[in-house]
Amino acid sequence: MAAAPVWSVDPRTGKQREQVAVEATAQEVDAAVRAAHAARASLADRTVRAAFLRTAAEQLQAAKDQLVEVADAETALGPVRLTGELARTCYQLRAFADIVDEGAFLDVVINHPDDTATPPIPDLRRYKVPLGVVAVYSASNFPFAFSVPGGDTASALAAGCPVVVKAHPDHPALSELVAIVLRRAAAEHGIPEGVLGLVHGFEAGVELVKHPLVTAAGFTGSVRGGRALFDAAAARPVPIPFHGELGSLNPVLITEAAAAERAETIGAGLAGSMTLGVGQFCVKPGLVLAPAGDAGDRLLKSLTDAVSDVDSGVLLDHRMRDNFLAGVAERAELPDVESPVTAGAGGEHTVSPGFLTVPAGKLAVEGEHDLLLEECFGPLTVVARYEDEDEAKSVLSRLPGNLTATVHVSGEEAAEGGRGPELLAELTPLAGRVLVNGWPTGVAVAAAQHHGGPYPATTSTSTSVGGTAIERWLRPVAYQGAPEALLPPELRDDNPLGLPRRFNGVLER
């Protein structure tokens, strides 16, 4: 494949700013993967690994001013948003360092022989080991949290897996700078720089997922791009796990009682959520089921007033802007679709937010309105107004998998004996995170978090946020009948590393 220049582009003007690198050739991808593969042993010591993650967080924070400046120049997301995202990314690195120190993620289980069992149990010792080199595909909309230093990279390194990142073309200069910081942190602990590879270019991304030394991949992006890589991962002579986040509509169900109770509050909250970050969040509410009638009218008025007050903004690149404008126009032209606030071009390089309304019955059956059940990336949502509960349920039954699903209920519905459990049961099959009386934008980095969902939200049942994201890059192995002298220290009876474990059926901490 031919090497082409990689440019940093200003989304506010669409003009090239500077050449950052060149697209990686197949030989350069191979070299990056082999360097990462050679660095595996340097991550074997959990103490070193945890210290590396903490140093990476410290050095990213120390370089904050430069990193935020470059990130804003390439994404137009603004210093406030980017500073917060960088802080979240550093917190995530430190959180994974704590997980590595604790060691529970190894899932150590030891069974001594038991001849009285049926069948007899031999000496068995089980734990988890790192898969190997992980390919990470950066996201456009989170230049820190889902890119070079983001959750896929942090969790893979925490698992003991070297990483090769395919940089996103929307922030190549930032990607290079962050890679330098992470490699410098690695060097402080005697870890080779090859532990974090970085490549640019579409073809490089394809070569990466096909490389025989790559053992797993993490992706955040579009359905089209993610599905192509997912299929390539499965078509390899040795298929590999592909943990992809592809797309999500994030439906919201507003009950009639909730709308009657607080229509104005819900309308204003919806406006804030759907326009946050110029609508460029993977968990933006893209479809809202709201009741017809007076309460629904009040909600729409509140939504109209709030969205009308939101300024136009810059999308991450002009391709996304073009796709957004085309998507809005195509949806607005459908029969019975209205635009109380018209989304569109806010200026030569900006877009203005808006929303569409449609009778829910148009979405309850297959037809030309199915386009409204597809994600439109940007500050747009669709409000489907239902006449009764059966109509709302019919729409929900047609939805694909999602990252989130939200229900707004009244105080009575949420109380003991109310219909809240029934509504949660309706939404649970649709998503990996179900919210009550809240909004899905904002994904906390926490042990109980799950950021994933049924396809096409993600291609696996795993999460990409929270401590259990580390599980994607590990595989279990059991040793049978091995003498103590041959066992890794994690599996020895005297537990020299002080690990949490299950020992002969008893949980030890």
348 counts as catalytic: no
**Dihedral pair phi/psi, residue 192, rounded to 5°:** -60, 145
Among 368, 365, 304, 367, CA closest to 331: 368
The residues facing 496 across adjacent strands are none
- For residue 80 the two structure tokens come to 């406030």
Considering only CA atoms, give the Rg of the chain. 25
Choose the catalytic residue: 23, 207, 245, 256: 245
- Burial annotation 17-26 (CB, 10 A radius, 16+ → b, else e): eeebbebbbe
161 counts as catalytic: no
**Cα 46 from chain centroid?**
26
**Dihedral pair phi/psi, residue 334, rounded to 5°:** -70, 150
How far apart, in whole angstroms, are the C-alpha atoms of residue 226 and residue 136? 12
The arrangement of strands across the sheet holding 196-199 comes to: 196-199, 163-166, 133-137, 214-220, 242-245
Place of tokens 């007899």: 120
Return the SS3 of 438.
coil
Please work out, in degrees rounded to the nearest 5, the angle formed at the alpha carbon of residue 276 by the alpha carbons of 273 and 277: 155
The arrangement of strands across the sheet holding 108-111 comes to: 474-480, 124-130, 108-111, 501-503, 506-508
The residues facing 252 across adjacent strands are 288, 406
DSSP letters along 179-221, please? HHHHHHHHHTTT--GGGEEEE-SHHHHHHHHH-TTEEEEEEES
Beta strands in 278-395 (DSSP E): 287-291, 338-341, 344-345, 351-352, 354-359, 380-386
Return the SS3 of 125.
strand
Choose the catalytic residue: 90, 161, 282, 376: 282
Among 196, 249, 243, CA closest to 220: 243
The amino acid at residue 367 is: G
How far apart, in whole angstroms, are the C-alpha atoms of residue 244 and residue 225? 10
Catalytic residues: 245, 282
